[in-house]
């Protein structure tokens, strides 16, 4: 059992690596071919050097830390709020209707579209970026969790009632674990949306002080026409995306729903 698990994750990493290398080789071929000016399409070596410089100077690390701190905050707030709201909605028809309506209104609204309003209401600081992240994450999360609650086999709830669980215990110990596959896919969608929202918001808001996050870093490289630096920033975003997907989400899934045979 353990053996197969190990080999399959090893296989996955191998495949991942293979395609990453294919993409990098393609990139280099295009860069070297001179079809596009180097100022638009720099070669890998130049990008790597830009990345190295920004790591040595500490700037990209600082900006990454800033972005990660923001996204984690926004993400946790959204997750907790989404669970709370969905739980309340699961217990009350009227409230459920309200949440449903709100989600229908707010879910399709891109956070960036709300930007002018958010600036007027919350200013241009980190609060506004948090608001945008929460807005981007909370609605898909609520919709997923509510779908998950609805999809739960009634037997679990009835067994719970039979064992004398109160409402709170039913939600905490039955509804949430039973809908975990849905919660997880909500978290995945939410994370992707949060990243997008964060980077775009940072690009638009710019820095308050020197810290503006990765989006700001990329934007700054753009205005100073440092294309390799821009790609270095994008590279860090991709890297974080892969790490979070392969090592955080996949590992969590491995340890929960997969181990429990729920997917």
Partner 1 sequence: MKTKVILSIVVFLFFGLILAGCSAMGKGREEKLQIRIAEQYGLAYAPLQIIKEKKLIEKNLPDIQVTWRQLGNTAAIREAMLADELDVGFMAIPPFLIGWDKGMEWKIACGLSSSPVALVVNKESIKSIQDFTQEDRIALPQPGSVQHILLSLACEKIWGDPTRLDNLLVTLDHPDGMNALLARREVSAHFTTPPYLFKELENPGMRQILDGKEALGEEFTFIVGVTTAKLYQDQPEVYDAFLRALEEAVDFMENNPTETIKILAAAYQIEQEEVLKYLEHPDMAYSLEVKGVMKFADFMQKNDYIKRKPANIEEVIWDENDK
Partner 2 sequence: MGNDLKQQEENLIDRTVIICLKSVSKYYRRSQETLRVLDHIDLDIYQGEILALLGPSGCGKTTLLRQIAGFDHRESGSLLMDGHEVVQPEVKRIMIFQDFNQLFPWKTVIQNVVYPLQVNRVGESDTANREIALEYLKLVELTGFEDSYPHQLSGGMKQKAAMARALALKPKVLLMDEPFGSLDALTRIALQNLLLKVWQETGVTIIFVTHDIQEAVILSDRIAVMGRETAGIKKVIPNLLDRPRVVGEAGYSEIYGHVYSLMDINPTK
Name the residue nearer to partner 1 (CB basis): 9 or 124. Answer: 124
**Residues numbered 148-207 forming contacts with partner 1, rule: CB under 8 A:** 205-207
**Residues numbered 136-155 forming contacts with partner 2, rule: CB under 8 A:** 153, 155
The answer to whether 164 contacts partner 2 (rule: CB under 8 A) is yes
CA distance linking residue 174 with residue 9, whole number of Å: 30
The nearest distance, CB 261 to partner 2, in angstroms, is: 3
Q: Which of 174, 203, 232, 236 binds partner 2 (CB under 8 A)?
A: 174
CA distance linking residue 25 with residue 48, whole number of Å: 14
# chain residues binding partner 2, by CB under 8 A: 21
* Residue-by-residue DSSP string for the chain: -HHHHHHHHHHHHHHHHHHHHHHHHHHHHHHHHTSS-TTTS--HHHHHHHHHHHHHTSHHHHHHHHHHHHHHHHHHHHHHHHHHHHHHHHH-HHHHHHHHHHHHHHTTS-GGGGHHHHHHHHTTSHHHHHHHHHHHHHHHHHHHHHHHHHHS-HHHHHHHHHTT--HHHIIIIIIHHHTHHHHHHHHHHHHHHHHHHHHHHHHHH--BTTB-HHHHHHHHHHHTT-HHHHHHHHHHHHHHHHHIIIIIIHHHHHHTTTTTT--
The nearest distance, CB 236 to partner 2, in angstroms, is: 35
Contact track, partner 1, 13-32, x by CB under 8 A: -----x---x---x---x--
161's contact among partner 1, partner 2, none, with CB below 5 to 8 A by partner kind, is partner 2
The answer to whether 119 contacts partner 1 (rule: CB under 8 A) is yes
Q: Which stretch binds partner 1 (CB under 8 A): 36-44, 47-55, 61-69, 193-201?
A: 36-44
- What are the residues whose beta carbons fall under 8 Å from the beta carbon of 178, sequence distance 6 or more? 148, 152, 153, 156
The answer to whether 95 contacts partner 1 (rule: CB under 8 A) is no
158's contact among partner 1, partner 2, none, with CB below 5 to 8 A by partner kind, is partner 2
Name the residue nearer to partner 1 (CB basis): 20 or 159. Answer: 20
Q: Which of 20, 35, 105, 242 binds partner 1 (CB under 8 A)?
A: 35
For the chain, the straight-line distance linking the first and the last C-alpha, in angstroms and rounded, comes to 17
Q: Which of 74, 200, 214 is nearest to 130 (CA)?
A: 74
The nearest distance, CB 115 to partner 1, in angstroms, is: 8
Q: Which of 131, 180, 197, 232 binds partner 2 (CB under 8 A)?
A: 180
Residues that bind partner 2 (CB under 8 A): 153, 155-156, 158-159, 161-165, 169, 173-174, 177-178, 180, 256, 259-262
Site of interaction with partner 1 (CB under 8 A): 18, 22, 26, 30, 33, 35, 37, 39-40, 116, 119-120, 123-125, 205-210, 212, 216, 219-220, 222-226
């Amino acid at each position: 059992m353990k053996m197969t698990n190990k080999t399959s994750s090893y296989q996955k990493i191998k495949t991942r690596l293979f395609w990453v290398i294919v993409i990098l080789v393609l990139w280099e071929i295009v860069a070297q071919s001179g079809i596009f000016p180097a100022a638009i399409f720099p070669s890998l070596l130049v990008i790597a050097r830009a990345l190295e410089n920004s790591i040595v100077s500490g700037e990209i690390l600082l900006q990454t830390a800033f972005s990660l701190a923001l996204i984690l905050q926004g993400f946790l707030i959204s997750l907790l709020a989404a669970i709370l709201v969905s739980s309340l909605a699961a217990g009350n028809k009227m409230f459920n209707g309200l949440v449903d309506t709100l989600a229908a209104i707010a879910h399709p609204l891109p956070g960036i579209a709300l930007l002018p309003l958010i600036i007027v209401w919350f200013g241009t600081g980190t609060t506004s970026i948090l608001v945008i992240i929460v807005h981007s994450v909370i609605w898909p999360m609520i919709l997923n969790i509510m779908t998950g609650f609805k999809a739960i086999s009634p037997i679990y709830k009835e067994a719970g009632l039979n064992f004398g669980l109160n409402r709170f215990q039913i939600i905490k110990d039955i509804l949430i674990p039973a809908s975990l596959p849905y919660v997880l896919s909500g978290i995945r969608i939410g994370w992707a949306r949060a990243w997008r929202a964060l980077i775009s918001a940072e690009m638009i808001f710019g820095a308050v002080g020197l810290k503006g996050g990765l989006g700001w870093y990329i934007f700054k490289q753009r205005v100073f026409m440092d294309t390799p630096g821009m790609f270095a920033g994008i590279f860090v975003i991709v890297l974080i995306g892969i790490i979070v997907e392969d090592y955080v989400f996949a590992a969590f899934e491995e340890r929960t729903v997969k181990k429990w045979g729920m997917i």
